[in-house]
Structure 1
Amino acid sequence: MADSGGTPASNFLEKLKAYVRTPKGAILSGEILISFIIIICYAASLYSGYSSVAICEMVFAIVFMVVFMLELDKQFQVISWPWSDLIRAAIGCLLYLITSIICVIGGGGDGARIAGGVFGLLASILFGYDSYTIYMQIKGGRQHSAAPTDEGV
């Protein structure tokens, strides 16, 4: 029998601690944390409808964090995980930017809505940075091979 070295929960926590220390894990955990803060701000405001963007982006960030942490992306190769992550981060950046501008401009008298908008602008920057790093990873991962030539002819 294989010695697992502990309970599955402790193995999961060890993988989580190790993954959060990586650059991608730090970005994803930052996205989860700032989305949670935005949810709290929008829930406290008079217009809590804007919290749906933060909830969706937090859930998607959690899903991708679990997939990358448990290395499920190497097992399920049907999905292009880098491109899926790029689309997730780019859409998150745009949605946070749009909703945050709306909340900051139209949030007069509602401090929680303005705070959510400001944190949303910060989240937009973080999601944009994540999009940039994923794009550079995809761009750098391509193998450029020269076309074969017939020099002997």
Structure 2
Amino acid sequence: MADATAASPAANCLEKLKSYGKTQKGVILGAEILISFIIIICYAASMYGGYSAVAICEMIFAMVFFGIFMMEMDKQILVVNWLWTDLFRAGIGALLYVITSLICVIGGSGDGARIAGGVFGLIAGILFAYDTYIIFLQVKSTRQHTAASTDDRV
């Protein structure tokens, strides 16, 4: 007979999801996933659906990093520097969202869904830039704590 007091793996995962979703990084990644999904819907409704590739890629990357950080796999898989990888993901996402959104807003006359996707893309660019700034502050604080002394005198 199974032990009724033991927590199931699904309940453990749900608890990790709830607790990580309340952290600052969890809220930012959740907002990135949500706004990317909204942008995908807007671009899918427009006449030019090709702009949705950026939103799809960034949503998938945000979901992967949400899962990695939620399950604390970044502390188990030490081959990858997760902080720097997340910094590059957020920085490139901010840059790509701003570029494609400006193209859509400027050239989207007559296509309301494309303009809406561009406006949401600009908001996403700001959100990804904020995420980049927060990660940069973390990188900066970890580099100050681990810096080796260059003083020859002991």
2: distance between equivalents of 1:141 and 1:85?
15
> Structure 1 length normalisation: TM-score?
0.93
Question: Which residue matches 2:14?
Answer: 13
Q: Deviations over 1:76-100 (max 9, x none)?
A: 1000000000000000000000000
Between the aligned partners of 1:94 and 1:120, the Cα distance in structure 2 is 11
> What residue ranges of structure 1 are gaps of 5+ in the alignment?
none
CA RMSD, 1 decimal: 1.8
Q: What amino acid sits opposite 1:21 in the alignment?
A: K
Q: Choose 11-20 or 36-45, whichever is displaced more.
A: 11-20
* Percent of aligned positions that are identical: 62
Partner residue of 1:144?
Answer: 147
For residues 2 and 80 of structure 1, the distance between their equivalents in structure 2, rounded to whole angstroms, comes to 39
Q: Match for residue 31 of structure 1?
A: 32
What residue is the counterpart of 1:44 in the other structure? 45
| 1:1-150 → structure 2 map (5 Å cutoff) | 5-142=6-143, 143-150=146-153
Cα distance between partner residues in 2 of 1:26 and 1:9: 21
In the alignment, the residues of structure 1 paired with residue 85 and residue 16 of structure 2 have an alpha-carbon distance, to the nearest angstrom, of 22
Per-residue deviation, residues 45-88 of structure 1 (Å, max 9, x unmatched): 00011001000000000000000000000111000000000000
**SS in structure 2 at match of 1:27:** helix
Give the C-alpha shift of residue 12 in structure 1.
1.4
Across the two proteins, how many residue pairs are aligned to each other? 151
Unaligned 5+ segments in structure 2 are none
Q: TM-score, normalised by structure 2?
A: 0.92
Q: Structure 1 residues 140 and 109, CA, compared in 2 at 3 Å: closer, same or farther?
A: same
Deviations 1:88-116 (A, max 9, x none): 00000000000000000010010000000
